[in-house]
Chains A and B, each alone.
Chain A
Amino acid sequence: GAGVSQSPRYKVAKRGQDVALRCDPISGHVSLFWYQQALGQGPEFLTYFQNEAQLDKSGLPSDRFFAERPEGSVSTLKIQRTQQEDSAVYLCASSLEPTTAYEQYFGPGTRLTVT
């Protein structure tokens, strides 16, 4: 399919472990977003890339969270020294245009459980 893909779909980490979550956006999409969705809540913005440039990382909850998109395509969200409060679904979305005025297409998410 031509949609946004994310891997792994499920990740269980022990507290203190590092994790890396991958996002493959729709080919040709300039914008890439990461969101965090807690159970029963709407997605919350984490960070935004336009091509390889990270233009907004205001939503990253702590310096344990790091995201990159080195070649302007695939992106990785890394969480260091995971804590229980990091347990959530992490959603990636991509958009054709470099503006939020255009619709974002979401991947299925990675469900992270920290034990």
Chain B
Amino acid sequence: EDQVTQSPEALRLQEGESSSLNCSYTVSGLRGLFWYRQDPGKGPEFLFTLYSAGEEKEKERLKATLTKKESFLHITAPKPEDSATYLCAAAGGSNYKLTFGKGTLLTVNP
């Protein structure tokens, strides 16, 4: 059974304090690893897709990386508006579904 585990569950940073969120996955035949951002009361907002180990993608202060077992979401010099829950999801094998982790709740204090 596909599994996705995110850590930490919650992370509190000061504005400008860089850090990383972890996503460990056990998926047979990974077809894609996805990162989403979710604000309270809203649906997940797509950030990145990674397809193979070694791949990296960047968007503003965010950079996502992928290995054969993990993905990291690096946040450089975060701002309060980066506060949200960050969700990781994996698509594997011939299934149509995404398997999500529980998310990391990021709070950036000014």
Contact = CB atoms under 8 A, between A and B. Distances in A.
B34 A4 contact: no
B94 to A, nearest CB: 10
Nearest to B32: A101
B31 A103 contact: no
B42 to A, nearest CB: 6
A109 interface: yes
Interface string B80-100: 000000010101000111111
Contacts of A106: 36, 43-46
B109 to A, nearest CB: 21
A106 B100 CA distance: 14
Interface residues of A, number: 29
A53 B103 CA distance: 31
A72 interface: no
A105 interface: yes
A56 B100 contact: no
Nearest to A111: B41
Contacts of B101: 42
Interface string A42-74: 111100101000011011000000000000000
Interface of B: 4, 31-32, 34, 36, 41-46, 49, 51, 87, 89, 91, 95-103
Interface of A: 4, 31, 33, 35, 40-45, 48, 50, 55-56, 58-59, 91, 93, 99-109
- Minimum-distance CB pairs A-B, first 8: A42-B100, A106-B43, A45-B97, A100-B91, A48-B96, A101-B31, A101-B32, A103-B46
